[in-house]
Structure 1
Amino acid sequence: MVTTITDGVKVSVETQYQPEYSNPASDHYMFAYKINIENLGDTTVQLLRRHWEIFDSNGEHREVEGEGVVGEQPVIEPGSSHEYISGCNLKSDMGSMKGEYQMVRLLDNSLFDVQIPQFYMVAPYRMN
């Protein structure tokens, strides 16, 4: 698990290779990632947008941007957290992702970016 804290918001990420949804013969590798967003601050925040940079070990790079996460724009009270699971497909058996969430402090409507730490997606057989 990798973790980072930005402006009182802690983001932790775990990944898992999904062999049942992968097809190595067709250069299709599927990974799931679970993200926990914890509000360590003293004001309520809301996640508005996400921005991802996805790197494939074959040299491919792509960016994904959009509203919320898995169809939600969660409000996170102080001391609370929001967890979700999503996925990423790669054309090789290893790669990485990193990015940021745009959030707003509901107290004063100030916007700020929270870093998502770079995390690696590696098929287990590559770990040997």
Structure 2
Amino acid sequence: MVTTITEGVKVSVETIYQPEYSNPANDHFMFAYRINIENMGNYAVQLMSRHWYIFDSNGAKREVEGEGVVGVQPIIEPGNSHEYVSGCNLKTDMGSMKGEYQMLRLLDNSEFDVQIPEFYLIAPYRMN
């Protein structure tokens, strides 16, 4: 698990290779990732949007942007967290992701970016 803290918001990521949804013979590798976003600050925040950078080990790069996460724009009160699971397919059995969330501090409607730490997507058989 990798973790980073930006302006009092802690982001932790855990990855899971999904062999049942992968097809290595056709260069299709599916990964799930679980993200926990914890508000360690003193004010409520709302996750407005996300921006991902996705890298395959063959040098391919993709960017994905959109509102919220898995269809919601959660409000996270101080001391609380929001967790979700999503997925990513790669054309190689190794790659990485990183990005940022655009957050809104509800006290004064100020916007700020929260870093999503870089994490690696690696099929377990590559670890030998």
Q: CA deviation at 1:120?
A: 0.1
Q: Gaps (5+ residues) in structure 1?
A: none
2: distance between equivalents of 1:109 and 1:35? 24
Q: CA RMSD in A?
A: 0.2
1:51 aligns to what? 51
2: distance between equivalents of 1:119 and 1:16? 11
User: What is the TM-score with the length of structure 1 in the denominator?
Assistant: 1.00
1:124 aligns to what? 124
Q: CA deviation at 1:77?
A: 0.1
Size of the aligned set, in residue pairs, is 128
Displaced runs of 4 or more, over 2 A: none
User: What is the TM-score with the length of structure 2 in the denominator?
Assistant: 1.00
| 3-state secondary structure, aligned to 1:78 | coil
1:6 aligns to what? 6
1:92 pairs with 2:84: no
2: distance between equivalents of 1:72 and 1:36? 14
2:18 aligns to what? 18
| 3-state secondary structure, aligned to 2:71 | coil
2: distance between equivalents of 1:78 and 1:122? 34
| 3-state secondary structure, aligned to 2:125 | helix
Q: CA deviation at 1:75?
A: 0.2
Q: Gaps (5+ residues) in structure 2?
A: none
Quote the sequence identity (%). 81
